[in-house]
Structure 1
Amino acid sequence: MERSNQNRVSIWEPLKIRNFLLLFIGENISVFGDQLYLVALPWLTIELTNSGLSLGTVLMAAAIPRAIFILVGGAISDRISPRLVMLVANILRTLLTIVLTLIVWNQATQLWHLYLFSICFGTLDGFFIPAVQSIIPRIVKKEQLTASNALSQGTNQLILLIGPALGGLLIAISGIKMAFAIDAVTFIFSIATLSLMKVSSNFNIVSKIKETNTKNKSLSKEILGLITGVREGLKYGWSNLALRTILLVVMVYNLIFIGPLRIGFASLAHSRFLGGAVALGIMNSAWGGGNLLGALMPSLLRNPLRIGTLLLILGGIQGSGLFILGFAPNIILASLIIVLLGFCSGFFVVTEITWIQKQTPPEILGRVTSFVMLSSFGIAPFSFAIAGLLVNLDLTILFTVTGSIILFMIALLAVNPSVRKIE
């Protein structure tokens, strides 16, 4: 009865908290801009090169520094304010987006520009992502975490439903430059809302910073402290058997799944479906719609499944969907399959985030979160490389091979009772 009441009441309750409301508004505006960027960048790359392999390497250029710096970003978020990390990262991303907009506007874009900007964005993402994941437990109560994550993820996915389709339409009408320009404006809005937040330094972090901020502190000691912080987060994540198991499974899963989504969608729109950028936007919106429905599920279930069982069920559905997507003859059928894939993803992501936040001590949450993000983003460069090679062979092969591998992996995990028992 208590759980049911919590689910029924608390889904909107976090919006009563000023800091969460500011974060919620600012980040959702920014996420909308990101959806335009995520349609514009692949489409610009495809137009310049007409190569799925080139798109894969551009995405790798962002994914590699993101993976390298994400652990450092988590440690920094624990040592100082996550809000400050987000604020600085967004200021720099605004400047980068403005420069990219001017280059595209002047029709001076070259492939090396996309590599350079991808590297810069990936680096900043490495700091921003663990900060935004670790700030919510600092501004809401523990019993509000499920509602906060469901609300944040659900609204993000609603934007994913609308944003990419609008982005594709915007590109078709006004050109790629307008998508990048609007993205820059949304970053500025996010900077404003972050500046209005007042987040105190909790969990004895203030005293720790004062202790290290002495006059005789050397740069080497600061770096050593940062490395120690990263090591502590890794040690905690690896010593927790349930967390380690989930992360390893998710890491292998993402190796197979991420690349076909990012590269496969763009390749389907370019080579199989009519509509070009509009078709790409529709598929990304279908993904967002499915994610929205899935993200809301954890807060609606009275008796949620064990996270291990949930991983097996949703993974099996996604493997099957990915396989079938390789044969989708039109945008309608492809979009229906993608909605199902997105539903499974949104369902699991909210469940996983809440599960980790509830069992991790707040003072190391940024580092553990970065460890979790590494299991996704750290593997992305390899996934993009594999997908880029497969799509150059054949688009159908990309989806059928990766879908079959996921199904085989899920079948192996299903016979292991220790995975099913993780809760």
Structure 2
Amino acid sequence: MTFLLLLVLTLLFGTIDAFFGPVKTSMIPKIVTKEQTQRANALFQGTDQVAFILGPLLAGVFMEFGNVSTSYSVATGLVLLSTVLVFPPFIKEAPAEKRVQQTPLRDLKEGFHYVVRSNFLLVGIGVLISYNFFVMGAIIVAMPLVVDLYGGTPINLSYLEVSLGIGMVIGSAIVGFVKIKNRGKLSVYGLLGAALVLIFFSQFTDLFWLTMIVFFIGLAMPIVTIPFFTSVQESTDPKLIGRVMSLVYLAMNGFDPIAYGVIPWLIEGGLSIQHVLLVFALIAMLVGVVVLLKGKSYQRV
């Protein structure tokens, strides 16, 4: 294994994941009733976050008692098992309503034009991008940096990551059990709350309190994402749901990696991580306030 080969494998894995992500979210409205969509999304995302916590722990165990190849082999087996479990007859997926032969480029254009014509989708995607770039992307980059800055050890980083994951799981459970009337407004409040918490995170220097604070950033994630996901799944034309969810998935997962590159570049330029987090939090809060004041139609969804 060389670094170049690892880079190629990572690129391929990311490309395949970019297909898998929109498909898994588009599949939910095809296998549950409309009334169950919100709870299904919450259960799905909550389970995803539990795996996010347990996965690294299990990988560490396999590498401790075996080696890296053992961990990869177990992961490969689990992925193969998942392909069996989502086999269409097993999940009773509804058949496609209409089949049209056209090019992938035309598919992409149709999905893009559908999103551009929808004020709800544009505002919601903007909220997702703001949360994932300015809040979630920033906090993931910041955690190892603040642990090093404040004299912590790898166990402190683990505590921060677990606290973030537990917040996501609890947030998903809350959204799953509470009936939400104004989903758009709730997602905006989630963004504002996460930005406010990030401001506190940027000012505290004690790792214990930072571990407590990061929990609330994780708690906000399902509050921002699940109401919007549910509304998109319920309101989008079924034959376009895959293309629309691809763009939503891009907003959800495509901008925090950009933050991974931007923030170290800003720090290399002379800014402290605290100042970067503060500026990012203020920008996210500004976006939330603008949507709260101007996006009345979005809030009524």
TM-score by length of 1: 0.62
Shift of 1:127: 1.2
Q: Map Cα deviations across residues 355-383 of structure 1 (whole Å, 9 max, x no partner).
A: 11111122221111001112233334432
Report the CA distance shift for 1:168/1:388 in structure 2 as closer, same or farther (over 3 A): farther
Is contact 1:321-1:337 (8 Å) kept? yes
Shift of 1:318: 0.9
Q: Distance in 2 between matches of 1:245 and 1:282?
A: 34
Structure 2: which 5+ runs fail to align? Answer: none
Residue 231 of structure 1 corresponds to 109
Taking structure 1 as reference, are residues 356 and 379 closer, same or farther at Cα in structure 2, changes over 3 Å only? same
Q: 1:416 to 1:176 in 2, by over 3 A?
A: farther
Indicate the SS of the match to 2:38: helix
- Partners of 2:113 and 2:24 in 1: CA distance: 22
Whether the 8 Å CA contact 1:306–1:422 is kept in 2: the answer is yes
**Paired residue for 1:190, among 79, 84, 89?**
79
Distance verdict in 2 for CA 1:138–1:409, change over 3 Å: closer
Moved more, 388-397 or 180-189: 180-189
Where in structure 2 are the equivalents of 1:374-413 lying within 5 Å? 374-392=250-268, 393=270, 394-413=272-291
Structure of larger gyration radius = 1
Q: Deviations over 1:314-346 (max 9, x none)?
A: 112111211221233233211211110011112
| Corresponding residue of 2:18 | 126
In 1, Cα distance between the equivalents of 2:208 and 2:175?
Answer: 28
Contact 1:296 1:347 in 2 (8 A): no
Contact 2:187–2:225 (8 Å) recurs in 1: no
How many residue pairs were aligned?
295
Q: Distance in 2 between matches of 1:338 and 1:328?
A: 11
Would you say 1:143 and 2:32 are equivalent positions? no
Is 1:311 matched with 2:203? no
Q: Residue 200 of structure 2 corresponds to which residue in structure 1?
A: 324
What is the alpha-carbon distance in structure 2 between the residues aligned to residue 298 and residue 156 of structure 1? 15
d(CA) in 1 for partners of 2:136 and 2:65? 27
366, 372, 397: which is aligned to 2:242?
Answer: 366
Q: Distance in 2 between matches of 1:135 and 1:417?
A: 29
* Whole-angstrom distance in 2 between the partners of 1:293 and 1:396: 27
Runs of 4 or more off by more than 6 Å in structure 1?
none
CA distance in 1, matches of 2:132, 2:14: 18
Taking a change above 3 Å as real, the CA distance of residues 312 and 147 of structure 1, as seen in their structure-2 partners, is closer
SS of match in other structure, 1:246: helix
Distance, in Å, in 1 between the alignment partners of 2:215 and 2:60 is: 20
Please tell me whether residue 295 in structure 1 is matched to residue 172 in structure 2: yes
Q: Which amino acid aligns with 1:257?
A: V
**Structure 1 alignment gaps of length 5 or more:** 1-102, 104-108, 213-223
1:257 pairs, out of 135, 140, 147, with: 135
Q: Distance in 2 between matches of 1:372 and 1:311?
A: 14
CA RMSD of aligned residues (A): 2.8
Task: Report the alpha carbon displacement of residue 148 of structure 1 after superposing the two structures with TM.
Answer: 1.6
Deviation at 1:226, TM superposition (A): 1.1
Give 3-state SS (helix, strand or coil) of 2:103's partner: helix
Q: Give 1:189's aligned amino acid.
A: L
Q: CA deviation at 1:305?
A: 4.4
Measured against aligned partners, the alpha-carbon deviations of 1:115-169 in whole angstroms (never above 9, x if no partner) come to 43432222122111111111222222333222221211122223334445x3697
Helix, strand or coil at the partner of 2:203:
coil
Structure 1, residues 185-208: CA drift from partner, whole Å, max 9, x if none? 133223123224441561235x54
Match of 2:48 in 1: 156
Identity across the alignment (%): 21
Out of 154, 163, 181, the position equivalent to 1:286 is: 163
> Which sits farther off after the overlay, 193-202 or 407-416?
193-202
Provide the C-alpha distance between the structure 2 equivalents of 1:316 and 1:379, rounded to a whole number of angstroms: 18
Aligned partners of 1:419, 1:344: CA distance in 2, in Å? Answer: 22
TM-score (norm 2): 0.85
Is contact 1:167–1:281 with CA below 8 Å preserved after alignment?
no
